[in-house]
Amino acid sequence: MPPIEPLKAGKNAVGVKAPHTMTERLLILLSRYREASIAVVAIVLVIYFQVGSDGGFLSPQFMSVVLRDTGRLGLIAAAEVMLMITGEIDLSLSAIFSIAPYVMALMSVTWGVPLAVGAVIGVLIGVLVGAINGIITVRFRVPSLITTVGMLFFLQGIVVSIYNSQPIVAPVEQPFNAIFGQSLYQPSDALLSWHGVTAFTPFLWTVLIVLALALALNRTTFGLHTIATGSNIIGAREIGVRADRMKIYNFMIAGGCAAFAGIINTAQFTSADPQAGSPFLTLQAIAAAVIGGTSLLGGSGTVIGALIGAFVVASLNNGLVMIGAQATVSDIYLGAAIIAAMILSIQVDRLRTRRRL
């Protein structure tokens, strides 16, 4: 029996290189907990805006605005994460965000269909559009970027043609509106009352859906197959994963989430605007996903990080205005954050690879 060789310096018992510097330790921590870095950024931003606004940033009224924006953006960002993990992307989500509530409001005004029924139909439209995007992408081998850009223009053309490009004032049907977005909160109301809760319903719905998606990604076979599809699609197919089907399913989830986000937005403002979902909304959602720790290369991502990233984006958009800065300045910080997040993600992946050598 040959003698057992001693462990080489710098490696542990399983042959993984041990970290030597503080930078490596930090990168290892970020590789294990991708939400950690963006969570720190979010905390710093809150402190900065709270001090800069003389305590106004964390007031219930202003946080209601920030968290509502976070909810709308975070739901679309979480939808993008599910696709980005599989190595795909969907640029048509902003158009789905517009057309689903527009159909809901139109059915209610024209035929008297209850908003709840119209909302279900709107979500089903989003799921159907997602399925079409997925089938075109995986069956006809059209890159998802091209597929969804085409769908974006197609849906935008439809939604501006339905009602002569005019916004539709949706009827108020309680408790539907209050449950799904309309704020009944007044400064005299208790924050923990029903009226106080309605100030945050878009965010609360997003939190529930994000937690469900996180559970599906981390605790189910569906999540395992989704990650495997983006990590190594050939290897995934060899072990029996139906990769094409997984991509279509995630396109459908993304479409349904975008449609639901649009319905919440319409319930909040009691108006369906054909221009509500500009392409910039999707780009901001992708930015939130990337700075939240999701790789554009596929194979890894976190919906919770995307939600925190959406909070950062919403805080920048609203907080800078509150302290007197120009609204366009937020785009500068957002662009820098995306580049920094991608550099960090690549460095973390390189470190993970080196430690396995």
Domain locations in the chain? 65-184+193-351
Lowest mean pLDDT among 21-25, 69-73, 229-233: 21-25
What region does 298 belong to: left with phi over 0, alpha with psi -120 to 50, or beta?
A: left
| Burial class for 160, CB neighbours closer than 10 Å (0-12, 13-18, 19+) | middle
Residue 336 has pLDDT above 90, yes or no: no
Residues 114-128 have pLDDT tens digits of: 999 999 999 999 999
What pLDDT is recorded for position 14?
45
> What are the tens digits of pLDDT across the range 204-224?
999 999 999 999 999 999 999
For residue 256, what pLDDT band results from cuts at 50, 70 and 90? very high
Contact 46, 57 (CB under 8 A): yes
- The structural architecture, per CATH, of the domain 65-184+193-351 is Orthogonal Bundle (1.10)
Of 78, 127, 86, 82, the closest CA to residue 244 belongs to 86
Answer whether residue 30 shows pLDDT above 90.
no
What is the DSSP secondary-structure string of 10-51?
A: TB-TTSPBPP-SHHHHHHHHHHH-THHHHHHHHHHHHHHHHH
Q: What is the mean pLDDT of residues 291-307?
A: 88
Secondary structure class of 301 (helix, strand, coil): coil
- 174's CB contacts (< 8 A; 6+ apart) are none
| Residue 28: predicted pLDDT | 65
CA dihedral 75, 301, 31, 6 (to 10 degrees): 150
Do residues 262 and 205 make contact, with C-beta atoms less than 8 angstroms apart? Answer: no
3-state secondary structure of 131: helix
Residue 188 — φ and ψ, nearest 5°? -80, -10
pLDDT of residue 9: 44
